[in-house]
Structure 1
């Protein structure tokens, strides 16, 4: 049985200053130990403020800003939850937090393996990747979920992870691109093509606009550019949509998943690969072996222009794998409430009084 040192999180020099300048905080998930974390700055001490709550197999994570209010969408083992900041513009709590996120609304999807989540301006329900069913979906009032789109090579909606559809990039408020580990149409077919079978698909046309990738994840559209991770080779880069080529920006010393983009930086989750078949035989393993590097678990802040890891949060101890990351704008020190905390009984914020008709 593996023994791990106590959990710790260590910022690089300058990380606090960078986060302070961003006027926000960071959230990330780890399904390995079932945790949702937030990282902000304590205004009294200027030290990092780390908060965490336990949720089974939490993976997909997204920030929603609606009518000036901030919410978080988080997927768990068989549910999708919306956390709402019930503090809002009321200042700070007595213990110095400027946002209190409460699990306000939950939907039971069943175990459909929700990966990326993307809120929509035109609809209160988000889009999400239902990986086990190889489709993009949203919530349904009288069903577990509502399938909306699937890759052209998938012939039916069945609970078989055939292509490992895992990532969704929105473009212009609509689904733009998705990533799949392989173009398979039988249960588990993607597992035999992890090294170089990865593809990027244009949702509108259904056309494959990038291929030959190694376990692509977390596509994101930002300032007219499609960014993506090649998790199997430890690379973060951009897709040249005219040629279909992946253009590396930097190497990351671990299995990378989860991207949040802000200004000229990408915030990326990096994990220590598991000793399992799905992670073996990849170019990442070869490169780490050649260079003698140890894989790391960390949040990497990558400069989009130079490709350098400008800042980092190194995570050690029991947390060894991350899935998704997000930036919470204009919230410097968030707090999370769990289902069983006594505080949730009294964190109440009434809505506006309904107008008479």
Structure 2
């Protein structure tokens, strides 16, 4: 079994260093300020109850950083520590967990990672899922954002550069399946910044875009207002009253989204477009999963020190708050922030987060690594094709 690149941290306000290659970090006392990370590294701290939340919800998490090109898998050990496993995937973006596999959108490919363990097996005496890259479908640099799996098992992804939804194709870079009604032509111009997709009933149901622009990068002048949620089946604009919306999700018949330019998790009435603020989050929101009534979201720091032209900047100032980079767990009923993971140092931007239910402590193996070259699995019995006989 290949060794993992993993860091562990105590479940009570712990920390882990995440340089390249990752190293193991020491625990910090609850409530204590962790030391500043070394240049080029990131320090991970978790809330006091984060490990207990993972255990109570029988789940682990995956999150991605396109800034540093990394996939993080977060799990729990029986001894009360939290495990952080990381691997490099160039411009890691959208995530989708389906069955026992993880899909990951990256710079020019959509990756499929399979759990190589059979029932009852454990990797490296610790991990109950070992995710191995088994397929990389090459799309070219089309700025893949969110990824989903439909009822037929097809990969559906947001093609932001060409302003459309796509599926994979064996011959072409992608197969377009839908575009917003206001987009007149499929062109590599990122016209409206189509970015998020909600799956419901095994098919795309809603998408988010920063604007209704139909010119090259026209959305950049519309970041503060005019963001839309669109119903895929009809092309109807549900609302155009958002600021840089991301990550629509349908759960229990309700439509949720991230009003990222305002820093709000929101619920939207899919018929009237009326929106309700649920919780303010201190950072730029991107990526959301919903599990057992909690929204798990990622927040990022600004690239230039401020969130220019966004009300998020003024909101942070009014609350005397600094922006975070990390993962927040918010109860949708109360709007309370339940638990968190915080990253300080080199990593300042995250993109997506996925829930991995039923898995306690996952790890992955990265492409183009010694572990990948030496990790080989196969069925021990010969299963002939073409009617070929086998020796006794």
Normalised-by-shorter TM-score class? over 0.9
Farther-moved stretch of structure 1 (203-212 vs 7-16): 7-16
2:82 maps to what in 1? 48
1:88/1:99 contact within 8 Å kept: no
2:59 aligns with 24
Equivalent residue in structure 1 for 2:101, among 71, 74, 91:
71
- CA drift at 1:337: 0.5
- Aligned partners of 2:89, 2:53: CA distance in 1, in Å? 29
Contact 1:5 1:316 in 2 (8 A): no
Q: Per-residue deviation at 1:9?
A: 1.5
Q: For 2:248, what is the secondary structure of its paired residue?
A: strand
Matches within 5 A, 1:102-181: 102-123=132-153, 125-181=154-210
Q: 1:356 to 1:162 in 2, by over 3 A?
A: same
User: Are the equivalent residues in 2 in contact too, given 1:24–1:329 (CA < 8 A)?
Assistant: yes
Asked if the contact 2:196/2:208 (under 8 Å) is kept, the reply is yes
Q: 2:264: which partner in 1?
A: 235
Of the two, which has the highest radius of gyration? 2
The answer to whether the aligner puts 1:310 opposite 2:338 as a matched pair is yes
2:230 aligned to 201, 206, 228, which one?
Answer: 201
**Distance in 2, Cα, partners of 1:136 & 1:94:** 39
Give the distance between the partners of 2:41 and 2:365, measured in 1 at CA: 23
Distance in structure 1 (CA, Å) of the matches to 2:107 and 2:257: 25
TM-score (norm 1): 0.94
Shift of 1:5: 7.2
- Could you give the per-residue CA deviations for residues 68-122 of structure 1, whole angstroms, max 9, x where no partner exists? xx00111111111100001131421233111110010011100000001001231
Residue 318 of structure 2 corresponds to 290
Contact 1:14-1:311 within 8 A present in 2 as well: yes
Superposed structure 1 runs of 4+ greater than 2 Å apart? 3-6, 340-347, 349-357
Uncovered stretches (5+) of structure 1, i.e. residues with no partner: none
Aligned residues between the structures: 349
**SS where residue 285 of structure 1 aligns?**
helix
3-state DSSP of counterpart to 1:152: coil
Supply the RMSD in Å over aligned alpha carbons: 1.9
Give the drift of 1:288. Answer: 1.0
Quote the residue 2:349 is aligned against: 321
2:161 is paired with a residue of what secondary structure? Answer: helix
CA distance in 2, matches of 1:49, 1:75: 23
- Checking the alignment, whether the CA contact within 8 Å between 2:57 and 2:292 is kept in structure 1 is no
The aligned residue for residue 83 of structure 1 is: 113
CA deviation after TM superposition for structure 1 residue 186, in Å = 0.4
Cα deviation for residue 243 of structure 1 reads: 2.1
Q: How is 1:219-258 mapped onto 2 (pairs within 5 angstroms)?
A: 219-258=248-287
Q: Distance in 2 between matches of 1:31 and 1:181?
A: 19
Match of 1:307, SS? coil
Contact 2:225 2:243 in 1 (8 A): yes
- Following TM superposition, by how much is the alpha carbon of 1:36 offset from its aligned partner in structure 2, in angstroms? 0.4
Q: Is the 8 A contact 1:86 1:347 kept in 2?
A: no
CA distance in 2, matches of 1:15, 1:304: 17
8 A Cα contact 1:84 1:103, kept in partner: yes
Of stretches 49-58 and 287-296 in structure 1, the one that deviates more from structure 2 is 287-296
SS in 2 for 1:133: coil
SS across alignment from 2:261 = coil
Displacement of 1:290: 2.2
